[in-house]
Structure 1
Amino acid sequence: MKLQTQVPLQRAEHQFDYQNQLLLLGSCFVENIGKKLDYHKFRSLQNPFGILFHPKAIENLLSKSIQDFNYTSKDIFYRNERWHCFDAHSDLSDVSKEELVRKLNDGLKDTRHQISESSHIILTLGTAWVYLNKATNLSVASCHKVPQTEFSKELLSVEDIVTSLENSIGFIKSANAKANIIFTVSPVRHLKDGFVENQRSKAHLITAINHLLDDNVTLSAVEGYFPSYEIMMDELRDYRFYKTDMVHPNDLAIDYIWERFKSV
């Protein structure tokens, strides 16, 4: 008796082992897989700017790291007794202005180095919803609890996401032409955006990635797609695979997806 429908996986053409280095950027699912890689002693770097939920935030990090951008005190702001940067997650925020600037520039340096050394780069997309800072009209990686009146919320179109991902691929390939790029969509549901809105967001991300994979020119630049979202939604279609918040995959789900990831 078959009690589960299983997402078919295609074995990757280019495998990685302990001789290789890896870079993982994106949603909080990166943290889950990253911990597995660390536990098994793979040489990897995960989210030097903290969790980046949407494609534009990933593109921004790659752009600034490749172009040797240098953060200064003009790029950060003070709020609630801490210094913050709209380009990075609050994990990097600090009580010291100088320390935050140092961490930001170290993060760019580490990213740039890891791009050049990595055989595989995994980009995990969490949401297509972005917040635009009204003062600059630029998307932010984190709002840092700044009043919502200072932002406008926007759903990135499929075309916008495709363009952003193409830019990210270009930045990576300019530093490491041999890097194998793997896309995945985070299985974490962003229900604060709304149930329907979360599904619209995931649909835009998946459609954009598959548009790239269907493009013969782009296909030569990427390794492919790992269906972590589809595995969670189909193979693990039960709330016993979620944490108590009913949004994030629990340890059992993460272990299961990790085993599926290893198999390819």
Structure 2
Amino acid sequence: MNLLTKIPLSKPKNPIDYSSQLLLLGSCFSENIGAKLEHYKFQGLQNPFGILFHPLAIEKLIQKSVNQELFIEEDVFYENEQWHSFDAHSCMSNPSKEKIIIDLNEALSSTAAQLKKASHIIITLGTAWVYRNTLSNEVVANCHKVPQSNFTKELLSVDEVAESIKRITTLVESINSSAQFIFTVSPVRHLKDGFVENQRSKAHLIAAIHQTIATENLLPRLSYFESYELMMDELRDYRFYAKDMIHPNEVAIDYIWGRFVEVWIDDSTAMMRKVDEVQRGLQHRPFNREGDLHQKFLKSLAQKIAYIKKEYPFMDFNISKA
């Protein structure tokens, strides 16, 4: 008996393996997938400017990184006892003006470096709704709890999203002509925008991505992964949502990750199992740290880590915390 409608997913020609260099940008769902990739010790950089919800925010920071447009004092502002940037998430905010500028420019540097060597760039779009600062007339990445009267709310059209995606790919191509783009739409529902408004937003994002794939002749270097569709169709039940009934819960994230592995991870599952075994071992909390059993356990764990690092020296495990 088939209890769900299974979405057919196509395998790409250039999948991810342990030699891949990854860059993940976008909404909070990119952090869910990023956490999985980090757990399994894949190489990459995840959201160096924090969560970015819409394509214009991602585009602007890629542009600044590629063109090495450094942040200066005029790019930050003081609100609620913190310095912020309208171009970055609040995780970058800081009580020190000097420190936030340093952090933002370090993020620019690390992003530029990863863009140049990235084999796969995974971009998760969360919404097509944007907020425009009425004073500067600039679309912001984050409002940082500045009064809403300082912004106008706009819905990007399908064409506007598609044009932004094309500019993103063109910017990256100027420094890295071989990167594979994986676009996906976050299954997180933005219900503060409204139920109908959320659906309109997701529809614009999905249509724009596929419009770009179809018209820009970027295949196979631009692909779509069906995160949103997996949540909406294969996991069509509120038991797969967190308590807020908006975010996917751990079961849903694990399921979508599993489908991602099926499609995008190439011949690495055996090593992934070994890495996972070590990661679980590092989380083990013994009854007696000085006892013989735990010392034997640590010796066995160290041998497993040595085996993995012999093949993949870049992997780093902190056995001292075990």
The answer for unaligned runs of 5 or more in structure 2 is 264-322
Structure-2 residue corresponding to 1:40: 40
1:13·1:223 contact (CA, 8 Å) conserved in 2?
no
Letter in 1 for 2:60: N
CA distance in 2, matches of 1:208, 1:30: 19
Q: Is residue 86 of structure 2 the alignment partner of residue 92 of structure 1?
A: no
Letter in 2 for 1:236: L
CA distance in 2, matches of 1:138, 1:74: 14
Q: Is residue 252 of structure 2 the alignment partner of residue 230 of structure 1?
A: no
Letter in 2 for 1:219: L
Counterparts in 2 of 1:103-182, with a 5 A limit?
103-182=103-182
TM-superposed deviation, 1:19: 1.0
Q: Deviations over 1:172-203 (max 9, x none)?
A: 11111000011000000000000000000000
Larger radius of gyration: 2
Letter in 1 for 2:93: S
CA distance in 2, matches of 1:219, 1:12: 10
Aligned with 1:219: secondary structure?
A: coil
TM-superposed deviation, 1:14: 0.4
- RMSD of aligned Cα (Å): 0.8
Structure-2 residue corresponding to 1:198: 198
TM-superposed deviation, 1:219: 3.0
Q: Deviations over 1:155-175 (max 9, x none)?
A: 000110011000000111111
CA distance in 1, matches of 2:216, 2:35: 34
1:130·1:153 contact (CA, 8 Å) conserved in 2?
yes
CA distance in 1, matches of 2:44, 2:154: 33
CA distance in 1, matches of 2:219, 2:93: 37
Structure-2 residue corresponding to 1:239: 238
1:118·1:179 contact (CA, 8 Å) conserved in 2?
yes
Aligned with 1:181: secondary structure?
A: strand
Question: For the structure 1 residues 232 and 28, does the alpha-carbon distance in structure 2 shift closer, same or farther, using more than 3 Å as the test?
Answer: same
Q: Which moved more, 1:70-79 or 1:207-216?
A: 207-216
Q: Is residue 178 of structure 2 the alignment partner of residue 215 of structure 1?
A: no
TM-score normalised per structure 1? 0.98
CA distance in 2, matches of 1:103, 1:155: 31
Aligned with 1:37: secondary structure?
A: helix
Structure-2 residue corresponding to 1:9: 9
Q: Deviations over 1:70-109 (max 9, x none)?
A: 1111110000000000000000000010110011001110
CA distance in 1, matches of 2:46, 2:29: 11
TM-score normalised per structure 2? 0.81
1:14·1:223 contact (CA, 8 Å) conserved in 2?
no
Aligned with 1:175: secondary structure?
A: coil
Structure-1 residue corresponding to 2:266: none
TM-superposed deviation, 1:33: 0.4
2:25·2:124 contact (CA, 8 Å) conserved in 1?
yes
Letter in 1 for 2:249: N
Counterparts in 2 of 1:52-63, with a 5 A limit?
52-63=52-63
TM-superposed deviation, 1:216: 4.9
1:190·1:198 contact (CA, 8 Å) conserved in 2?
yes
Aligned with 1:218: secondary structure?
A: coil
CA distance in 1, matches of 2:101, 2:141: 16
Q: Deviations over 1:229-260 (max 9, x none)?
A: 00000000111111000000011000000000
Q: May I ask how many residue pairs the two structures share in their alignment?
A: 263
Runs of 4+ in 1 over 2 A off after TM superposition: 216-220
Question: For the structure 1 residues 216 and 94, does the alpha-carbon distance in structure 2 shift closer, same or farther, using more than 3 Å as the test?
Answer: closer
CA distance in 2, matches of 1:224, 1:183: 6
Aligned with 2:78: secondary structure?
A: strand
Structure-2 residue corresponding to 1:248: 247
CA distance in 2, matches of 1:31, 1:199: 22
Structure-2 residue corresponding to 1:72: 72
Letter in 2 for 1:6: K
| Residue identity (%) | 58
Aligned with 2:236: secondary structure?
A: coil
